[in-house]
Amino acid sequence: MSVHVQTPQTPLRVAVTGGTSGLGLALVRAFVGRGAKVAFVARTAGAVAAVAAETGAVGIVGDVARKDDIHRIALQVTAALGGLDVLINNASDLGPVPLALLADTDCEDVERALQTNLLGPFRLSKALLGALAGAAREGRGGVIVNISSDAAVTPYETWGAYGASKAALRHLSQIWDAELAGEGVRVLSLDPGDMDTPMHAAAIPGADRTASQRPEEAAEGVIAATLSALPAPEAMSP
Amino acid sequence: MTPANIPVQRPVDARLLAIDADGAISHLRRGAFASQLRPGDLVVANDAATIPASLVGEHQRTGAQVEARLAGRASLAFKDVTFSAVLFGEGDHRTPTELRAPPPEVRAGDRLVLGPLTACVEAVLGHPRFVRLAFQGDAAAVWAGIAAHGRPVQYAYMAQALALWDVWTPIAGPPAAFEPPSAGFAIDWAMLGEIRWQGAGFATLTHAAGLSSTGDPALDARLPLPEAYRIPAATARAIHRAWARGGRIVAVGTTVTRALEHAAALHGQVAAGEGLADQRLGPATPLWVVDAILSGTHAPGDSHHDLLGAFTDAEALGQADAELEARGYRTHEFGDSVLIWRRPSEARARRAAA
């Protein structure tokens, strides 16, 4: 698959949350490898610095679950990239670890899952919507990708906090996608499938790791779906 | 007028005073803005996000407390982290700016330590409180420091301190403004749909709206400072398309008016690209691009009010001022709005015919 670079002067501008491990890290590496300008967000300063040094992407330290961090993150994204074409809300919280029955789940674990998996993507998308709609008016398109899960659709026992938050995110994505059609901004809910990631290992400690796809493979699917939601280069204004 | 002292950008009862091209005044709900448009018209707004431009720290040579309010930048480039700034001494925004303690005496070469940031005073710009600050370190670290340590410029008349989300318009994009382009508070996403439904268009530019006031008469006389702007190619095209259809250009705010008129004066047309708007607009300024302005309410005597004089005559403005007062319109950043259509212009008609 070739990279979707509009012109040599204006590479795709991408922001990824949860960019220092698992799928998020694979997305940062893959987008950078394809010539995109990438900014990523994660909570731990040391990990952010290491990924920034490795990839050349712009690292931003912040927690999407914290309301006070959202506009600070958005400001650094648009300052560094000069705008934004693609936002990937990837950072996720599993809820209680180890997984637990809902009746054994602390309310605080549900709150944290909702903050990270639902309110964080909502707030960050809202704060960056002006930039994304601006990109759409310039003919570049604008895409928000909310990373989902089959747990958003299927009510798996012990996945209550995570599954409920991801189900809400999926519904929000579908409503917002319809509402933003007139602005030229797409909102996608993408399920990358089971992956061999730190989160998956936390959820299912004894799982056969070779049965899951590598995050690098899952990233390819997310990138393909993202690029197909952008206008085709020949349809773009000069 | 009554100061609007609660940071609600779009109160349900927000009002709009409209002055038509003949100088006639009407009173509308602000939500009725889109109904004033015709098919082919184009609304242009400023998509600048507001930088948390107030940075508190210490003047290293004297150890004195200082607040630097970032006020301007020569460009909108990410790597450009040299800002002009107005300095304040001890105290905070709860003291009206004109009563604040003066800052320590600052000389070129001094350093300010502002939270995680260090800034070198490159020059004192003709006034002891007005300096050019070069922030030290790489650009990403400087923006991270501003995001972490900066607070939005505050106003003494507000009941509570403003958070960053209070001062971003719904369409805010790149961080460029030092105070909010507050005319844009009137715009929401539902209104963009109504504008389309009217057959009109919507476009944006990015303009580094500067400080509205410093509390120092000598400095205030220099406002507005030169402001960097960027006009996207899509916006320049949309303006020419509107003109080709006989549509009118409606600027959301004084900053959009300043940017579009500056570009037109420079290029003879609205060209895409960056510029530095350094002109003043007032009653004698011919308007080559903008046909109407949606603005906050402004009191006679401030520079924004002078700019409104470019659109309509002193008599209509005076009558509007009296009605705003008599009918209890709210003023300041979170207040009500005015929509002023420019008077017909013979020079402009000749130009359009040419």
Question: What's the rounded Cα separation, in Å, for the pair B325 and A15?
Answer: 47
| pLDDT (tens digit per residue) in B47-77 | 999 999 999 999 999 999 999 999 999 999 9
Catalytic one of A162, A173, A176, A197: A162
pLDDT grade for B91, boundaries at 50, 70 and 90: confident
Q: What is the pLDDT of residue B346?
A: 64
Decide if pLDDT at A71 tops 80.
yes
Distance from CA of A30 to the nearest CA of B (A): 22
Answer yes or no: CATH 2.40.10.240 is held by domain B54-149: yes
Q: What is the pLDDT of residue A227?
A: 96
Let me know if A156 is a catalytic residue.
no
Q: What is the pLDDT of residue A5?
A: 38
Q: Do B173 and A237 touch (CB under 8 A)?
A: no
Question: What's the rounded Cα separation, in Å, for the pair A128 and B23?
Answer: 39
Who's near B165: CB < 8 A, 6+ residues apart? A70, A71, A127
Tokens at B193, concatenated: 């749909």
Between A and B, how many residue pairs show a Cβ–Cβ distance under 8 A? 83
Structural contact between residues A238 and A139, judged by C-beta atoms closer than 8 angstroms: no
Tell me which residue has tokens 């008129």.
B261
Q: Which secondary-structure segment (H or E) carries B120?
A: strand B117-127
Name the residue ranges covered by the structural domains of chain A. 13-228
Q: What is the pLDDT of residue B218?
A: 92
Structural contact between residues A73 and A31, judged by C-beta atoms closer than 8 angstroms: no
pTM: 0.94
Name the residue ranges covered by the structural domains of chain B. 2-50+161-353, 54-149
Mean local confidence (pLDDT), A124-145? 97
Decide if pLDDT at A183 tops 80.
yes
| pLDDT (tens digit per residue) in A153-165 | 999 999 999 999 9
| Architecture of the structural domain at B2-50+161-353 | 3-Layer(aba) Sandwich (3.40)
Distance from CA of B144 to the nearest CA of A (A): 6
Instruction: Write phi, then psi, for A20 (nearest 5 degrees).
Output: -110, 5
Question: What's the rounded Cα separation, in Å, for the pair B21 and B316?
Answer: 10
Query: Given CB atoms, is A184 within the 8 Å cutoff of chain B?
Result: no
Instruction: Write phi, then psi, for A211 (nearest 5 degrees).
Output: -80, -20
Q: Which of A79, A129, A183 sits opposite B143 (nearest CB)?
A: A79
Q: Which of A72, A137, A139 sits opposite B147 (nearest CB)?
A: A72
Q: What is the pLDDT of residue A237?
A: 40
Query: Given CB atoms, is A74 within the 8 Å cutoff of chain B?
Result: yes
Mean local confidence (pLDDT), A103-119? 98
Query: For residue A201, which amino acid is it?
Result: A
Q: Do B144 and A76 touch (CB under 8 A)?
A: yes
- CATH fold, domain A13-228, is Rossmann fold (3.40.50)
Pairing of strands B201-207, B42-46: parallel
Asked whether this complex has an ipTM greater than 0.85, the answer is: yes
Q: What is the pLDDT of residue B354?
A: 54
Instruction: State in Å, rounded, how far the first CA of chain A is from the last one.
Output: 23
Decide if pLDDT at A4 tops 70.
no
